[in-house]
């Protein structure tokens, strides 16, 4: 199949890869656009892996405010140079990640940050659930491992499906940005704020105390 300039242009817009890389990918996949995207993504993963060890001390702190000021996010995303930190591509990535955090409520950036007590509690719950099925111990272990993977996908930012494209994770989004921009990029930390979070319970407890005191007085 002949690779046209329009096909190359479309693939470039979808992946951010160079013109020759897009042309080669389309030729290799006989013009299949989706296979070409996958091929470039795989090559991007390889390119990003080589950059992962480089120091990323520049970057930006991005923010996102949602729901009329009821949810707010601050996120620090690092890159290697101040020049890249100021580019539209990098700034858009930071905004997208902040927006995702607002929507998806991750608890950690990556699975390595999950604390031992949280892991122990989750495993204990999953093991008890699995044991209730009466299945053999080796099967229970596999069930627990499977549930832990699901936990990571729900709790860890880089493993969550990206809200704007659930076919890729946030980690894959960052990896593609590394391949496209050419620098190591790392999500370092974030904070998510929800208006009134933690206050409602205290107010409810106070109301219950007042009611109890009134009943005792009566």
CA distance 82 to 143: 46
The residue among 32, 51, 70 that closes a domain is: 51
Residues 6 or more apart whose Cβ sits within 8 Å of residue 98: 62, 63, 64, 73, 74, 75, 190
CATH number of 145's domain:
1.10.286
Would residue 46 count as lying in a domain? yes
Would residue 130 count as lying in a domain? yes
CA distance 132 to 134: 5
The boundaries of the domain holding residue 137 are 115-152
CA distance 11 to 34: 9
Question: How confident is the model at residue 205, as a pLDDT?
Answer: 60
Would residue 143 count as lying in a domain? yes
Nearest to 24, CA basis, from 142, 13, 11, 120: 11
Total number of domains in the chain: 2
CATH number of 34's domain:
1.10.8.10
The residue among 105, 137, 152 that closes a domain is: 152
SS3 75: strand
The residue among 35, 51, 67 that closes a domain is: 51
- Report residues of the chain scoring pLDDT below 70: 16-18, 45-50, 200-218
């Amino acid at each position: 199949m002949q690779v046209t300039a329009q096909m190359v242009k479309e693939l470039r817009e979808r992946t951010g890869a160079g013109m020759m890389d897009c042309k080669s990918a389309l030729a290799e996949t006989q013009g299949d656009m989706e296979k070409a995207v996958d091929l470039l993504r795989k090559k991007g993963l390889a390119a990003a892996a080589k950059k992962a060890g480089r120091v990323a001390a520049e970057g930006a702190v991005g923010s996102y405010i949602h729901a009329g000021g009821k949810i707010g996010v601050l996120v620090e995303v690092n890159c290697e140079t101040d020049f890249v930190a100021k580019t539209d591509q990098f700034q858009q990535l930071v905004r997208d990640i902040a927006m995702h955090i607002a929507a998806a409520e991750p608890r950690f950036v990556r699975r390595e940050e999950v604390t031992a007590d949280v892991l122990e509690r989750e495993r204990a719950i999953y093991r008890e659930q699995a044991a209730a099925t009466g299945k053999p111990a080796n099967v229970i272990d596999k069930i627990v491992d499977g549930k832990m993977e699901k936990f990571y996908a729900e709790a860890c930012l880089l493993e969550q499906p990206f809200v704007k494209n659930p076919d890729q994770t946030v980690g894959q989004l960052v990896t593609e940005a590394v391949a496209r921009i050419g620098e190591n990029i790392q999500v370092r930390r974030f904070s998510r704020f929800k208006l009134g979070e933690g206050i409602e319970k205290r107010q409810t407890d106070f109301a219950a105390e007042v009611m109890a005191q009134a009943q005792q007085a009566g």
